Structure 1
Amino acid sequence: MKLATLKDGSRDGQLVVVSRDLKTAHYVNDVAGKLQTVLDDWNFYAPQLQDVYDALNAGRARHPFAFDPRACMAPLPRAYQWADGSAYVNHVELVRRARGAEMPPEFWTDPLMYQGGSDDMIGPHDDIVCTSEAFGIDFEAEVAVITGDVKMGAKPEQAADAIRLIMLANDVSLRNLIPAELGKGFGFFQSKPATAFSPVAVTPDELGEAWRERRVHLPMTVHWNSKKVGAPDCGTDMVFDFGQLIAHICKTRNVRAGSIVGSGTISNVDRSKGYCCIAEKRMLEIIDGGQPVTGFMKFGDAVKIEMFDAQGRSVFGAIDQLVSAKG
C-alpha cells in the first residue's frame, strides 16, 4: 500500500491512497482524513485503506484522479518524534578519519542517534530555504520508517514488528554550523533545518524481496544539479538495521505511533557507488589530497533523491528540491 498527504491549506493535509505506479490517487475521507489517525489505530484503518488500494490498482476505484507529487506534503507533516540514526558506520568512520580522530570501538556496537525537529516536516518538492550559503548547505539521502507503538525495553525483533511505513528522507545539514554545536557537547540543533520526505510512504510488503533483514536492499539514486553523484545500496554496509535502531530508542522510553526513525546517510565501502551527501565526498578528498575540493550547495542548486525497484520503477516518487534564499 502507498499513502501520501496532499496540501489542502491545513497543517496536516489530506490523506490519499496512491496507486502502485504512482499515476493515480484516491481520497479516503470516509476512512481517515489524516495519516496520524491511521497510525493511532493501524489494525482498524489499514485494512480499509488496503481495499481502496487494491481497487485503485485494479481499475475499480470509484473516483481516481491524477497523482501530482508536487502537491504533496511530507507523508506525515508533523510527527511525534523524528529520531535519526547513523547506521552506516563507514560514513562515520570516514568523517572521523578525515579530521584525524580515532574511531571509538563502541560505534560499531551501539548506534549513534540524534533527535531532530519533528514539528515542521516539508514536502518532496518544497525548497530548501536557508538564510546564508556560508552555513554549508548539504543534502543527506536516507531511508526512514514510521512506527506504531513500541513498548520500552522492546527487542529488535519486537521493534521491527511496529514498522508501519517506509519512505525516503533528505535530512538537510548545515555543515559549517555543526562543529560549534557539537563543541558545546549538546548535539545538533540549528545545523539541522527542516527535513523533506518522499511523496509517498509505503508498507514493507510493497518492497517484496527488497525488504529483508529489516533493511531495504535497493540503491539510493542521488542527482545534484542533474548529475548523478550516487547510487549506493541501502542494504549493504548498514551495520544497524531498523529493528535495532528502534530498540535503541526504546531502551529507556516508550515509542509512540507516528514516530519517524531514520537510517542516517546511505554509505557504501565500495566508492564506485558514489555518495549521498557532499560531506562524504569532501572527506574522501581530504583523505586523498589533504583538503576538500567540492563545495557545498549554493542558492539555485537542485537535488533529486529517488529509489527504483529491480524493474526500474520508482518506488516512493522523487524528492526533488531547489535551494533558495530566505527572503
Structure 2
Amino acid sequence: MKLAVFSVDGTKQLGAVQEDRVFLLSEYPPCVKSFIESGESIPSLEGRPSHHLADVAVHIPIAAPEKIICVGLNYIDHCRETGMEPPKSPVIFSKYANALTGHNSDVEIPVNSKEVDFEAELAIVIGKEAKRVSEEEAEEYVFGYTIMNDVSARDLQFADGQWSRGKTADTFAPTGPYVVTRDEVGDPHNLSISLTLNGEIMQDSNTSNLIFTVPQIISFLSQSMTLKPGDLIATGTPPGVGMGRSPKVWLKNGDQMEVTIEKIGTLSNRVRGH
C-alpha cells in the first residue's frame, strides 16, 4: 500500500493511494509516523471517501522523524566519480528535520553556497524499534520505503572536513511523495532509480548496485543506536551527480529535479536560488 499525507483546501489528512485516487484514513493523524507507531494494519478502503490525486496537494509523509540517517559512498561507480575508495563498512552521516521538505516543494540554495548538488536515493522507513538486530532478521523492522533527494552543498561539505553543514541546510532532504509498504515494494535490491534535471537524465541505475544492502545497513546501525518507528535511512546515491561531471553541474534557480524509483513513484522539486 502507498500511504500519503495530502490536503484538500489546506487541511492535511492521511490517505492510502490506489491508482489515481487517494482514500481518506480519517481515524489517524496526518502523519505516516503516527500510523506506524499505532501498530495497526491498513484498514479496508471500501466505502471510504476519496479524491483524484490530481486534485490534492501531497505533503511530506513523515515530518518529524526522530532520526534521519544517511549512507554515503554506497554505489561503487559513485565512489569512483568522487575519487574515493569504496568503503569497507557503511559511511554514516545525519540530516536534521529542518532539511525535510515534500513533493513539489522548493529546494532553496543557501546564500553561502554556489555548489549545490543532487543525489537520488532509496530511503528505508523503520517500522518498529530495532536494537542489535542481525542481518537475517533486519527486514522485519522495515515498514516500507520512500524517496529522498540528498541535496548537498559541496563547497560547504568539503570546506568543513565533515559533512553536516553541507548536507543539512534547510530543504536539503526532499522526501516522498509516498511511503510504500515493504510487501508492495518486494525486493528493495532490484529497483530502477533515476534522476532527471530539467528533463535530462543525470542518474540512471538500479539498487542491485548497492554496496551495502538494506539488512546490512539496519543491522550495522542497530548495534550502536536504537532505531525507532518512522526513522528514515537514505541508502546512498548512484553515479551521475553534478560534482562527478565534466564540466561540473550545480543546481541553479528554476531548475526542476525529478527522482523516480520503481514501485514507489516520482519525487519532484524545483530549485529556488539567489
By the TM > 0.5 criterion, same fold?
A: yes
CA RMSD of aligned residues (A): 2.3
1:250-302 CA distance string (max 9 Å, x none): 112211111101111124xxxxxxx2x2123x2xxxxxxxxx41331111111
> For the structure 1 residues 250 and 33, does the alpha-carbon distance in structure 2 shift closer, same or farther, using more than 3 Å as the test?
same
| Displacement after TM superposition at 1:240 (Å) | 0.6
Partner of 1:198: helix, strand, or coil? Answer: strand
- Find the counterpart in structure 2 of residue 36 from structure 1: 33
1:119-141 CA distance string (max 9 Å, x none): 55211110111234843111110
Q: When you count strand as a share of all residues, which structure comes out higher? A: 2
Separation in structure 1 between the aligned mates of residue 32 and residue 134 of structure 2, nearest angstrom: 26
- Find the counterpart in structure 2 of residue 216 from structure 1: 189
> For the structure 1 residues 192 and 31, does the alpha-carbon distance in structure 2 shift closer, same or farther, using more than 3 Å as the test?
closer
Which of the residues 66, 69, 76 maps onto 1:80?
66
Which of the residues 200, 214, 223 maps onto 2:178?
200
- Find the counterpart in structure 1 of residue 242 from structure 2: 278
Aligned residues: 270
Gaps of 5+ in 2: none
Q: Is the 8 A contact 2:189 2:210 kept in 1?
A: no
- Find the counterpart in structure 1 of residue 41 from structure 2: 46
Partner of 1:156: helix, strand, or coil? Answer: coil
Which of the residues 242, 247, 257 maps onto 2:229?
257
1:121-170 CA distance string (max 9 Å, x none): 21111011123484311111000011023332111222221100111111
Aligned residue type for 2:210: M
Q: Is the 8 A contact 2:65 2:97 kept in 1?
A: yes
* 1:70-219 correspondence to structure 2 within 5 Å: 71-86=57-72, 87-97=74-84, 103=85, 107-108=87-88, 110-132=89-111, 134-182=113-161, 186-193=162-169, 194=171, 195-208=173-186, 211=187, 215-219=188-192
Q: Over alpha carbons, which structure has the higher Rg?
A: 1
Q: When you count helix as a share of all residues, which structure comes out higher? A: 1
How much identity, in percent, do the aligned residues show?
A: 20
Aligned residue type for 1:157: E
The answer to whether 1:26 aligns with 2:23 is yes
Gaps of 5+ in 1: 56-60, 98-102, 268-274, 283-291, 309-314
| Displacement after TM superposition at 1:85 (Å) | 0.7
Separation in structure 2 between the aligned mates of residue 24 and residue 133 of structure 1, nearest angstrom: 41
Aligned residue type for 1:192: T
Partner of 1:157: helix, strand, or coil? Answer: coil
Aligned residue type for 2:79: V
Partner of 1:253: helix, strand, or coil? Answer: coil
